[in-house]
Amino acid sequence: MSESIKVIVEKCIGCGLCVKVCPFSAITIVNKKAIIDLSKCNLCGACKEACKFEAIAIFKPKIEAVDFSSYKDVWVFIEQERGKIAGVSYELLGKARDLAKDLRGGVVAVLLGHDIKRKNQELIQRGADKIICVDKPELDNFISENYANIISHLIVKYKPEIFLAGATTCGRSLVSRIAVTIKTGLTADCTGLDIDKEKRLLIQTRPAFGGNIMAQIITPNYRPQMATVRHKVMKELEPDAKRKGEVIEEIIDGRFIDGRVKFIEFIQEEVAKVNLADADIIVSGGRGLQEGKNFQLIRDLADAIGGAVGSSRSAVDSGWISYSHQVGQTGRTVAPKLYIACGISGQIQHLVGMQSSRVIVAINKDPDAPIFRVANYGIVGDLFQIVPLLIKKFKEGSKK
């Protein structure tokens, strides 16, 4: 039996208290009785707590205790494209070392592809204690069905305690399939990971309710505990040439290859002159620019200091700049050496994507803007006066 909710009609008087507290507008009053729309309800329990007449009941299935003692190690899916490993994979190996230390386990890198065995030693130098490598021609190009079939098989065989992947297009499509196949929980787009040492639980932190709160999620009843993590929120380890590790080469037969799916062509995305994810300097503009044509100021400042152009979600929603420039919860997560925010108020949705920047400079005419709470340096004033002066000074400096 799955978790469910029910209105006890005999006790309900239609007072409407439950309607007021429901965050999903899932409850209405009909003929003085509460009616719950189950397609909208997520069983948060707010209505039950608000009801003074005990007219709402939530039924939870009885979960039998499961022995997880045979599950061990922290696994990291190594995302690669044409032999080049994604930066988020290195970041996850670094974080996995911290998690594995708390669990007294090891770090296992899961590497799938073709002609990729040469990467094994590099992954060991980057933090892996063990590599599970599947090198097969059919895995030359990422097809989520094939990768998910193989990794699900490996998880059942080796029983990892934790499985991590990057919150990338590939990672999201892959890990969701694995979670459904092996019937475990999955937390997407995490910005923080920690361990409850006593209970051996992975504490998964991610933005929720549109970024207005930071939720901590656990998976106490299933294994492995699975999460995807955003790029640039974890720190890579420096390569250690002295590290040694074990390599397991798994031989996988054709039954794990889905013949219904074929790779046709890879079309490279057109990117800006400087890639946001890799940029050391980013200049971002927000609603304070007032209209799209004023983004030229941001571009000019970025050009003057060799940076990339970013934006807030409001600027993208207004059509002033393309989505590929968006920084924040629903855009890119970045961690440059210098981040300059021009006319950006600093709502939590934006801060989630850039607060790991080494130095943050904020320019805003509102002295109470939230962006100043995370900024290392704040300039209160009109960006249309300040930014041109900065551009002029930087250009003068480059000529000397």
Give the tens place of pLDDT for each residue, 105-148: 999 999 999 988 889 999 999 999 999 999 988 888 888 999 99
- For residues 227 and 190, the answer to whether their CB atoms sit within 8 Å is yes
| pLDDT (0 to 100) of residue 253 | 85
* φ, ψ (nearest 5 deg) of residue 383: -60, -25
| Residues 222 and 105: beta-carbon distance below 8 Å | no
The fraction of the chain above a pLDDT of 70, given in percent, is 94
Segment 375-389, tens digit of pLDDT: 999 999 999 999 999
pLDDT per position as a tens digit, 320-377 = 998 889 998 778 888 889 999 999 998 888 888 888 888 999 999 999 999 999 999 9
Model confidence pLDDT, tens digit, residues 199-230? 999 999 987 766 567 889 999 999 999 999 98
All domains of the chain in start order, with CATH: 4-59 (3.30.70.20), 74-256 (3.40.50.620), 276-399 (3.40.50.1220)
Count of CA atoms in the C-beta half-sphere (13 A) of 260? 2
H helices then E strands: how many in the chain? 11, 21
**Cβ atoms 288, 316 nearer than 8 A:** no
Instruction: Give the pLDDT score at 399.
Output: 62
pLDDT tens-digit series, residues 298-321: 999 999 998 999 999 999 989 999
Split at pLDDT 50, 70, 90, the class of 152 is very high
Q: For residue 269, what pLDDT is reported?
A: 58
Please, which residues have CB within 8 angstroms of residue 364's CB and are 6 or more apart in sequence?
Answer: 288, 341, 342, 343, 344, 345, 346, 371, 372, 378, 379, 380, 383
Reported as a pLDDT band with limits 50, 70 and 90, residue 47 is very high
Q: Is residue 39 scored above 70 in pLDDT?
A: yes
- Residue-wise pLDDT tens digits, 184-199: 999 998 988 999 999 9
| Token pair recorded at residue 325 | 């420039």
Structure tokens at 7: 């209105």
Query: In this structure, are residues 7 and 22 in contact, taking their beta carbons and an 8 Å threshold?
Result: no
| Phi/psi of residue 187, nearest 5 degrees | -110, 125
pLDDT tens digits, 251-290: 888 888 887 888 887 776 555 445 787 788 999 999 999 9
- For the CA atoms of 390, 392, 393, 397, the dihedral, rounded to the nearest 10 degrees, stands at 130
Q: Which residues of 346-381 are buried (b: 16+ CB within 10 A; e: fewer)?
A: bbbbbbbbbbbbeebbbbbeeeebbbbebbeebbee
Longest dimension (CA), the chain: 83
- Tokens 């899961």 -> residue: 110
Q: How is residue 20 written in tokens?
A: 């007021």
